Structure 1
Amino acid sequence: MSEVRHDRSGPGPAGGYHGVAESARALMAGPLLPELGGAPHDVLADVTRAFAAGSVDLTHPAALARMQPPSLAVAAAAELVVATLNQSLHAWESGPFALEIERFVTAELATLIGYGSGAGGTLTSGGSVSNLMAMTMARDSVLARRLSRRPGQEGVAGLHRRPVVLAQEAIHFSIGRALRILGIGEDQLIPVAVDADGRTSAADARRVLFGLPGTDLPLALVALAGSTDLGVIDPLRELAEVAREHDLWLHADAAYGAGALFSERLRPLLDGLSEADSVTMDLHKFGWLPSSSAMLLVKSRGDLQDSFGLATTTCLTSADDTEQGYHGLQGESLQTTRRADAFKILVALRCLGRERLSAMVDACHDLAIHAAERIREEPRLELVAHPPLGAVLFRYLTDDPGKADEVNGAARRELMATGRLLLARTHLVDGAGVQRVYLKLLFLNPETAPEQVDDVIAMFLTTARRIEAEG
């Protein structure tokens, strides 16, 4: 809201956690369900004004903390249409046209990846759910082929072999969480070494697989296709060869990196993506769409149906209706009732077109390169690596190296508390094998100017120097 932005000095609300919490408590001092309701216009205006005042302004050039782009206006308008029509995708009679839109959108994006006519996909709430679904299909597919087991019906107890999944340590935490949920266990995530560029080593994956005891049953190899910290993209074709040699499921987590598909410049980075059995993609990152605009795409549509189809006849399944086309998508998703999220994707991508979308992705990449070069020029700042996508990792270097983590963390919190700058924080192991605090700039606003990036870096430097000096 314009009046909220006018009162701010940056992308965040001033006052930090305590200020926002106090404002929220003031708004919600009364009961959630009062005895008598208020006038809709007044309630909506009051709650919206307070909500906006305590929210992040994602259009501000200093909103660089998370993978949240400012939403396209047309996509926000499309969200209103979706909410107003309130269609669902679980049954034909709940959203007939919405079903056709999702089928079209997933088929088109599967083609963009390079999948053939047998591919499928589903919209999800985010990359974590997509990764959970991918690990479910990996478990079901491999156990069915190797052991004639139906884990969806029979479970995994009594296998007499330990199911394991291979991935490098930089893989998204949702993979480990998926293994917990599936009953495989996070301890069964076997690490694979990386090369000098942080990419999963196909040679080491082979070494690990050959070294596994016979009591282990490898299910999947998980590849990075744009890690959240360094934007690492694994050698996808090489990993696909390993997966085929050992009859594994290859999953590519491209939740962030899939945006490179829209760029003529960056698309070659994802060479081999079509070799993966499944791919996670989030268009609420590169794509400039409101959450949720995520999807799971699969090389074989049948794998989705095998893992998520309904095993028994229900009020949502009928063979004669299905034969005539009167069926929903409840058998290809974790969810039953599900929003028509593909509608906003269709509207947004039709409005943008390939040329404009490519330019937007490239603009964010250009900003990341500019920031990296600017950081390199500062003797007090350390750049971790050249950014392949839109994330830049760096840290402030203190005179006493032992205080660097403290100063970097304090500078970030102070800038958040004032609302002037929002940075992400992560942890990496340095060359000495010690885990250190690093800060992250995430560029997802193509309208940001290089001069504004310079201002952000100068603001951080000033704050960090003062905190170090104050000791």
Structure 2
Amino acid sequence: MATLASKCVGKWGTAALSMGLVGRGSWRWGTVGRSRGPGDRARSDQMGVLQFLIVVSKWRQPPVTKLAGTVTVDFQATAGNWCSTGGLQLVCWLLVDNQQMNLGRWVMGDIDQQDMVPNKKSIVLVDGVVLNGPTTDAKAGEKFVEEACKLIMEEVVLKATDVNEKVCEWQPPEQLKQLLDLEMRDTGEPRDRLLKLCQDVIRFSVKTNHPRFFNQLYAGLDYYSLAARFMTEALNPSVYTYEVSPVFLLVEEAVLKKMIEFIGWKEGDGIFNPGGSVSNMYAMNLARYKYCPDIKEKGLFGLPRLILFTSAECHYSMKKAASFLGIGTQNVCFVETDGRGKMIPEELEKQIWQARKEGTTPFLVCATSGTTVLGAFDPLDEIADICERHGLWLHVDASWGGSALMSRKHRRLLHGIHRADSVAWNPHKMLMAGIQCCALLVKDKSDLLKKCYSAKASYLFQQDKFYDVSYDTGDKSIQCSRRPDAFKFWMTWKALGTLGLEERVNRALALSRYLVEEIKKREGFKLLMEPEYANICFWYIPPSLRKMEEGPEFWEKLNLVAPAIKERMMKKGSLMLGYQTHRGKVNFFRQVVISPQVSREDMDFLLDEIDLLGRDM
């Protein structure tokens, strides 16, 4: 039994409604029908208990009330106190194992005249699941998407990019769990509740598109990339075969070709993948496969001890890749760097000779163009000379610094990159293509990627298709399902052009130079070193430490300053800035300029705010 009380609002005004499920009628699963009275019970072998959903609405008006409950299949609906002006409809749905099927509608005008308008088709059940028609409410879904998109536009695209708004609204984890209502229940939440949840998610998320978010190597909002992401999320493609993803495969091919040109290769190959860490792993495995193709089928058994070399300032993903691939972290040799964080070529060659002397087998050198902390660029030409002498694969991790290739003024930072065998480059960083957008580019054009990674899945990569199967590129990826990440970068590139992307890089580095000069002018600020790229590393020295000698006690106390200021700025929500220790240096700030929304005023604010938050320490 169930009772529904509600209000019906329409052009005729407001009236109280009530409905009771009483007596005994019957609904048959195989056919739609109704008994004539409580005592006239129709018989069926398929009677049982079902969930039901009741929708009460004005005739030809959108539903105003929904109620879910449980009732036996056989029932009779009686109604009283219905609105006398205009008909009402009671739409009954079967819900069997959450599968929804419209049985028909009761048309309620005069309560003495009830009629049943049956569906044309009988209900088809298989294992208790209704198979007739779609099981989703398309209109409700479309309405939710429309309202959610409006919320995104207002709260993320407009409000979150406003410099007068907070970068973040900090909450401790346990409190945030309660504020978000993370519990997933047996029944779905109503639309208004879902929209409120969306609003809360936006409210308590860090606004990485805010002009004063400087915390990571990505920031800002590119409108064209965002629109591209909306499209790909709605289309939900997977990029592996031309038949299911024709547009996005061609887009990826075009983008990879252009990136290869900027590296300086006449031809090459590549693949977009989820992150620079994955690109580095791809490259490490490719280098090993090139050295020993049998490893793909025979595995590590019988191989000599393989050794790789990388900068002491390299990304931590090199160790992870060595571990994941079974090479082992003890077989990663870290080459010493100079005072600016660049690999020392002479030290590299010494280590290679030493490894050979010990009976191990060098196979890979990984150089870095744009280190994570200092933004250093390894001397690629000298490293390439060494690799050629020793027959080693040269991989360049340009995940961060690769975007400098777009600038005629700054591409000199990567001089010699054309001599690399593979390059990792992340357009989602400096070029703001949106996370994730990362490419591994390979000089080899002999299908090395495909030879290394292919599994020839017969249900995807049939060779007797009616089109050119060379466009089915998915077999050169370690993934099966793969996002169309190249499309975001392509859309931005189409919108801005190469010159627009070049200007984006030039402006970011110009703002970085402005900040460096301001740091030099201001009391209480000290550069760690002159930057080579967009990474500005500096200390803030509060007044209480400015007259102290730079001995052990000074550095011990200074080590506490950056974390304390970071806590204050996050709780205030005024800006976000990263800090870290690094190779014996106590905690310092690392500021990175990326977004074109950032202005000179934001650089001034950053220094003013740090001084404001830390002057009493």
Q: TM-score surpassing 0.5?
A: yes
Residue 571 of structure 2 aligns to a residue whose secondary structure is helix
Residue type matched to 2:562 in 1?
Answer: N
> Which of 324, 327, 331 matches 1:188?
331
- Report the alpha carbon displacement of residue 444 of structure 1 after superposing the two structures with TM: 0.8
Query: How far apart in 2 are the matches of 1:271 and 1:382?
Result: 30
Residue 123 of structure 1 aligns to a residue whose secondary structure is strand
Residue 605 of structure 2 aligns to a residue whose secondary structure is helix
Deviations 1:94-145 (Å, cap 9, x if unpaired)?
212221111111111111111122x00111111111111111111111234x
Residue 340 of structure 1 aligns to a residue whose secondary structure is coil
Equivalent in the alignment of 2:579: 425
Equivalent in the alignment of 2:569: 415
Q: 1:7 to 1:395 in 2, by over 3 A?
A: closer
More strand by share: 2
Query: How far apart in 2 are the matches of 1:342 and 1:44?
Result: 31
Deviations 1:273-301 (Å, cap 9, x if unpaired)?
11111111111101111111111111014
Residue 448 of structure 1 aligns to a residue whose secondary structure is coil
Q: Which runs of 5+ in 2 are unaligned?
A: 1-154, 549-553
Residue type matched to 2:291 in 1?
Answer: V
Residue 465 of structure 2 aligns to a residue whose secondary structure is helix
Deviations 1:194-232 (Å, cap 9, x if unpaired)?
234321122221111112234211111110111111111
Equivalent in the alignment of 1:283: 427
Query: How far apart in 2 are the matches of 1:446 and 1:127?
Result: 23
Does residue 592 of structure 2 align to residue 436 of structure 1?
no
Does residue 496 of structure 2 align to residue 352 of structure 1?
yes
Equivalent in the alignment of 1:325: 469
Query: How far apart in 1 are the matches of 2:270 and 2:233?
Result: 23
Task: Give the number of the structure with larger relative contact order, counting CA–CA contacts within 8 Å between residues 6 or more apart.
Answer: 1
Equivalent in the alignment of 2:614: 464
Q: 1:393 to 1:97 in 2, by over 3 A?
A: same
> Which of 447, 450, 459 matches 1:305?
450
- Report the alpha carbon displacement of residue 76 of structure 1 after superposing the two structures with TM: 0.7
> Which of 166, 177, 180 matches 1:10?
166
- Report the alpha carbon displacement of residue 321 of structure 1 after superposing the two structures with TM: 3.3
> Which of 71, 74, 78 matches 2:228?
78
Residue 460 of structure 1 aligns to a residue whose secondary structure is helix
Q: Which runs of 5+ in 1 are unaligned?
A: 145-149
Residue type matched to 2:448 in 1?
Answer: D
Deviations 1:405-454 (Å, cap 9, x if unpaired)?
1122111122112211211122212xxxx342121111112232223211
8 A contact 2:159–2:165 mirrored in 1: no
Alignment of 1:45-194 (within 5 A): 45-117=195-267, 119-144=268-293, 150-159=294-303, 161-194=304-337
- Report the alpha carbon displacement of residue 93 of structure 1 after superposing the two structures with TM: 2.1
- Report the alpha carbon displacement of residue 318 of structure 1 after superposing the two structures with TM: 2.6
More helix by share: 1
Greater C-alpha Rg: 2
- Report the alpha carbon displacement of residue 57 of structure 1 after superposing the two structures with TM: 2.3
What TM-score does the superposition give when structure 2 sets the normalisation length? 0.69
Equivalent in the alignment of 2:180: 27
8 A contact 1:124–1:295 mirrored in 2: yes
8 A contact 1:10–1:62 mirrored in 2: no
Equivalent in the alignment of 1:209: 352
Query: How far apart in 2 are the matches of 1:338 and 1:101?
Result: 14
- Give the number of aligned pairs: 449
Residue type matched to 1:439 in 2?
Answer: F
Q: 1:454 to 1:37 in 2, by over 3 A?
A: closer
Q: 1:250 to 1:382 in 2, by over 3 A?
A: same
Residue 292 of structure 2 aligns to a residue whose secondary structure is helix
Residue 80 of structure 1 aligns to a residue whose secondary structure is helix
Q: 1:57 to 1:325 in 2, by over 3 A?
A: same
8 A contact 2:241–2:474 mirrored in 1: yes
Query: How far apart in 2 are the matches of 1:462 and 1:237?
Result: 45
Does residue 187 of structure 2 align to residue 38 of structure 1?
no
- Report the alpha carbon displacement of residue 404 of structure 1 after superposing the two structures with TM: 0.7
Query: How far apart in 2 are the matches of 1:460 and 1:346?
Result: 38
Deviations 1:342-381 (Å, cap 9, x if unpaired)?
2222111010112222111111111111111111223422
Equivalent in the alignment of 2:539: 395
Residue 469 of structure 2 aligns to a residue whose secondary structure is coil
Residue type matched to 1:60 in 2?
Answer: H
Does residue 568 of structure 2 align to residue 449 of structure 1?
no
- Report the alpha carbon displacement of residue 5 of structure 1 after superposing the two structures with TM: 6.9
What TM-score does the superposition give when structure 1 sets the normalisation length? 0.90
8 A contact 1:4–1:53 mirrored in 2: no
Equivalent in the alignment of 2:416: 272
Deviations 1:370-397 (Å, cap 9, x if unpaired)?
1111112234222112222211111123
Q: 1:266 to 1:6 in 2, by over 3 A?
A: closer
Query: How far apart in 1 are the matches of 2:480 and 2:403?
Result: 28
Query: How far apart in 1 are the matches of 2:287 and 2:486?
Result: 25
Query: How far apart in 2 are the matches of 1:383 and 1:318?
Result: 59
Query: How far apart in 2 are the matches of 1:195 and 1:239?
Result: 14
Does residue 517 of structure 2 align to residue 373 of structure 1?
yes
Query: How far apart in 1 are the matches of 2:602 and 2:206?
Result: 18
Q: 1:130 to 1:4 in 2, by over 3 A?
A: closer
Q: 1:334 to 1:21 in 2, by over 3 A?
A: farther
Query: How far apart in 2 are the matches of 1:319 and 1:446?
Result: 47
- Report the alpha carbon displacement of residue 323 of structure 1 after superposing the two structures with TM: 8.2
Equivalent pairs: percent with the same residue? 25
8 A contact 2:213–2:219 mirrored in 1: no
Deviations 1:245-288 (Å, cap 9, x if unpaired)?
11111110111101101112111111111111111111110111
